[in-house]
């Protein structure tokens, strides 16, 4: 239940952070990311990490549980900086196959990549996200 609450709160916050587009639905994916200014990308990432931290703290009983939950959504390790993740997201969304993957999932994936998760694992997760994005766009 806590996990569902975390996901619901985090993703509802992203709707509040997205800049308005004229006459079309706000799509929180690579198309939006590519339209953002460099400064807004950084602000978005700060909002993402703050939202994840807030919900992790609010829905767990101890600091260690909060940290574990936070790391599931925002893995970190050596070299995991906001600038490195923004750069990785920029590169990730240059691939047209990735454009429909939601930004929150891409942030999680690129944070894992920057923190040292293997290229094979990143590709496996990317393929799963592409399939999920394609299935949700068909509905």
> Quick check: 76 and 117 in contact, CB under 8 A?
no
* 21 φ, ψ (degrees, to nearest 5): -115, 150
Query: What per-residue confidence (pLDDT) applies to 6?
Result: 46
| pTM for this predicted structure | 0.75
Mapped onto helix, strand or coil, the DSSP state of residue 102 is: strand
pLDDT, residue 62, reads 92
Q: What angle do CA 56, 59, 65 make, to 5 degrees?
A: 60
Q: What is the pLDDT of residue 70?
A: 84
d(CA 69, CA 98): 25
Percent of all residues in the chain with a pLDDT value above 90, rounded to a whole number:
55
Q: Which of 16, 15, 39, 38 minimizes the C-alpha distance to 27?
A: 15
- pLDDT tens track for 86-129: 999 999 999 999 999 999 999 999 999 998 899 999 999 999 99
More confident residue, 99 or 22: 99
Mean pLDDT, all residues of the chain: 82
Q: Any bridge partners for residue 29, and if so which?
A: 102
Asked if 38 contacts 86 with a C-beta cutoff of 8 angstroms, the reply is: yes
For residue 34, what pLDDT band results from cuts at 50, 70 and 90?
very high
What pLDDT, on the 0 to 100 scale, is given for residue 33? 97
Each residue of 39-61: pLDDT tens digit?
999 999 999 989 989 999 999 99
pLDDT of residue 115: 86
Tell me what pLDDT residue 138 has. Answer: 59
Backbone φ, ψ for residue 26 (5° rounding): -80, 120
Structure tokens at 27: 């799509």
């Amino acid at each position: 239940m806590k996990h569902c609450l975390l996901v619901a709160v985090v993703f509802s916050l992203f709707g509040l952070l997205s800049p308005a587009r004229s006459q079309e639905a706000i799509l929180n994916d690579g198309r939006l990311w590519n339209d953002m200014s460099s400064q807004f990308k950084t602000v978005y990432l700060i909002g993402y990490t703050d939202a994840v931290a807030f919900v992790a703290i609010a829905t767990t009983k101890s600091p260690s549980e909060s940290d574990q939950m936070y790391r599931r959504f925002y893995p970190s390790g050596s070299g995991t900086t906001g600038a490195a993740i923004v750069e990785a997201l920029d590169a990730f969304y240059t691939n047209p196959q990735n454009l429909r993957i939601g930004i929150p999932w891409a942030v999680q994936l690129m944070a894992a990549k920057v923190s040292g998760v293997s290229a094979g694992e990143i590709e496996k997760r990317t393929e799963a996200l592409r399939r999920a994005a394609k299935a949700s766009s068909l509905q």
